Amino acid sequence: PAALEKTSNPRIAVGSAGYVNIGRLIQPLEIPISLSRANGNVHPMGNPHFNIDPDLGRVMCAEVRDALIAADPGRRSIFESNWEVWDQALAARQKIWADYLKPLRGKPLVSYHRSWSYFAKRYGFELIGELEPVPGLRPSPKHLAELASKMQEAGAKVILMEPWYPRSDVEKLMKFAEAEVVVLCTTCGYTSKTGTYMNWIDHLVDQVGQAYGRPPLAEFAESQRARASGM
């Protein structure tokens, strides 16, 4: 709301055709019971990183489609045809992602911040802990030691972290527990490999899968296509 007010643009104000609140369509995970500062920088309305679940990515894109139609009804057919192409491509990729990650259901994941809950839920991973003892607080040596012990016990092989978190904290943890560190933003566009939504999910799925011994995602997808064509 504060950012919208500063734009002084009535076309994107709440209630206008240019205002799109996708979050209203999402049932959020991890709505906090308490907003005490002792729990860190919690999100009062729940975990906001729902875009990491491709099913919810479809919800997001459909809502943007409808907003574009409302703002520019003369180009409805263009928005609808582009949506259909994108949606079909996403459905095909979703099948590949699900098939690729299926053998890893139940595998543990660790993250720096609790950003990856929707991805874990969609594909059946278990989030066993974060480097942050509470959101917004860097880990103490004691916390890292406890997390390393938990990782060793669970056989965790992947640490997910965004590029803005201190790599030094992860390096301290890695002295006690071996794992692949997957550095990735929680939205697309950070690198050329993740410039589109589907390429971003591709990269995430591929990195997590290979850390747990799966073949590269591109090789798996090609083998699936060859099998489907009877080659």
Determine the longest span between alpha carbons in the chain, in angstroms. 61
Structure tokens at 177: 């527990």
Mean of per-residue pLDDT scores for the chain: 90
pLDDT digits (tens, 9 = 90+) for 143-196: 999 999 999 999 999 999 999 999 999 999 998 888 999 999 999 988 888 999
> Is residue 127 a contact partner of residue 120, using CB atoms and an 8 Å limit?
yes
**Cα–Cα distance measured from residue 4 to residue 189, given in angstroms and rounded to the nearest whole number:** 23
C-alpha dihedral, 45 to 55 to 188 to 155, nearest 10°: 80
**Cα–Cα distance measured from residue 219 to residue 205, given in angstroms and rounded to the nearest whole number:** 13
> Is residue 216 a contact partner of residue 185, using CB atoms and an 8 Å limit?
no
Residue 37 banded pLDDT, cuts 50, 70, 90: low
pLDDT digits (tens, 9 = 90+) for 159-169: 999 999 999 99
Q: At what angle do helices 167-174 and 141-154 cross, to 10 degrees?
A: 60
Among 198, 185, 187, smallest CA distance to 50 is for 187
Return the HEC string of the chain.
CHHHHHHCCHHHCCCCCCCCCHHHHCCCCCCCCCCCHHHCCCCCCCCCCHHHCHHHHHHHHHHHHHHHHHHCHHHHHHHHHHHHHHHHHHHHHHHHHHHHHHHHCCCEEEECCCCCHHHHHHHCCEEEEECCCCCCCCCCHHHHHHHHHHHHHHCCCEEEECCCCCHHHHHHHHCCCCCEEEECCCCCCCCHHHCCHHHHHHHHHHHHHHHCCCCCHHHHHHHHHHHHCCC
> Which residues does residue 127 pair with via DSSP β-bridges, in sequence order?
109
pLDDT digits (tens, 9 = 90+) for 213-231: 999 999 999 998 888 877 5
pLDDT digits (tens, 9 = 90+) for 73-124: 999 999 999 999 999 999 999 999 999 999 999 999 999 999 999 999 999 9
Q: How far is CA 21 from CA 57, 67, 107, in A?
A: 14, 10, 33
